[in-house]
Structures are given as C-alpha cells and as structure tokens.
A and B are shown apart, each in its own frame.
Chain A
Amino acid sequence: GQQLNQSPQSMFIQEGEDVSMNCTSSSIFNTWLWYKQEPGEGPVLLIALYKAGELTSNGRLTAQFGITRKDSFLNISASIPSDVGIYFCAGVTGNQFYFGTGTSLTVIP
C-alpha cells in the first residue's frame, strides 16, 4: 500500500503552546483529511482539503493541502488539555484512504 509518513510521532507540549504536524507521501492525492482519535473511540474527521494550496480552518485548527499534492500540514493554536489524542492524516485517491501512522499529542496543564 501507499506509505504516508507522519511526523512527529509524539509530542508533549505545555497548555497554550502551538502545535504543528505534517504528513508526506511519495504519491499524489486528490484529497487530504485530518482525523483525531481519543482513547477508546474511533477517528473523528477534523478537516478536509480538496485542492492543492488550500488552507482551511476549524476553530483553533488550521490545515493546508501542500502544493505538490504529496503533503499536508496541521496546526493547532493555543493548545488546551482536551486536544489530547492521536491525530491521523489520510490521503484519498478514488475510493481508497491511506492513513498516516499518527501523531500522539499530550498537553500538559
């Protein structure tokens, strides 16, 4: 399958700090998605990106669809304790979703 590299693998940050994570691929995707997974739950969609260069926000979250269509970035501003979880990127081509390995975020109050 197609490999999506997500980094960093984990982050430990102080409440109030900003967070940046990214996802890169060797393949081009038509859509990039960002999900958040909390313990014991399934992933929940945060942001969807549909064209190269697109910048989309959802509250304190901002994501960008890379110009090359091979990468995407997620930023969280002014982190709060409830931001804790694992964040996954997903590249979509046709009917297929390819997920990154996840970034585990811990926010220290």
Chain B
Amino acid sequence: NAGVTQTPKFQVLKTGQSMTLQCAQDMNHEYMSWYRQDPGMGLRLIHYSVGAGITDQGEVPNGYNVSRSTTEDFPLRLLSAAPSQTSVYFCASKKGSWAFFGQGTRLTVV
C-alpha cells in the first residue's frame, strides 16, 4: 500500500518556468489537498479538492493551479515560478479526520 506518493522529491526552477508537482493516492480518498511549508509558518493550505471534478482555493492559492480529473491524482501546477514559491510542498489525502501526507517536494526557484 503506497499511500500518498509525490514526485519529484527535489526540483530547481528558474524564475518564469512552469512545472507540475504530481500527487497520487491509492486509498480511494475523496479529499486531497496541497500545502506549502515555510520556516516558522507551519503548513499553509494552497488548494483542496473534495472529489473528482471539484477543487477550491485554500489560504495561499495565488500562483498555483490545480485540477482533479480522477480520484487518485491531484497535480499542482506553477504556471510562472517566482522565488517566493521556494518552499517544501506536501500533498495530503484525507478520510474523516485522518490525513495522510506524502514525503514532500522541495522546490527552489532561482
């Protein structure tokens, strides 16, 4: 049982480049979400989805897009990366109050 799988684990981008962070879960959870983690800030919610075809904004959505075409996958897209998006990104899926996190993607934008 893989749980929540994130790829890549590390990424360096130049300002203005685009990329997609992948997240997949095999637990058939309806709810999935993306967080960013910055020093001293805890985990902040970027976007979330309560099921395939449904997405909504979290606390810090600007600069990020998401889509949810299947229950399993919830990719996070950066259309034009900025240095302020340097962070560690975590994907999570949730059933009830139990949230399971991926291992994270460390993104550096130079």
Alpha-carbon distance between A44 and B104 when the two chains are bound, in angstroms: 12
Given A1-B59, A31-B97, A92-B97, decide whether A101 and B103 contact each other with a Cβ distance below 8 A: no
Partner of A40, one of B35, B58, B99, B103: B103
Residue contact B42 to A102, C-beta cutoff 8 Å: yes
Alpha-carbon distance between A31 and B94 when the two chains are bound, in angstroms: 14
Q: Give the number of residue pairs across the A-B interface with Cβ within 8 Å.
A: 54
How many chain-A residues does the 8 Å CB contact rule pick out? 24
- Chain B residue at smallest Cβ distance from A102: B42
Alpha-carbon distance between A45 and B94 when the two chains are bound, in angstroms: 12
How large, as a class, is the contact surface on chain B? Answer: 20 to 34
- Judged by DSSP, the binding face of B is strand
Given A1-B59, A41-B103, A48-B97, decide whether A101 and B40 contact each other with a Cβ distance below 8 A: yes
Interface residue ranges, A against B (CB under 8 Å)? 1, 4, 6, 9, 31, 33, 40-45, 48, 50, 88, 90, 92, 95-97, 99-102
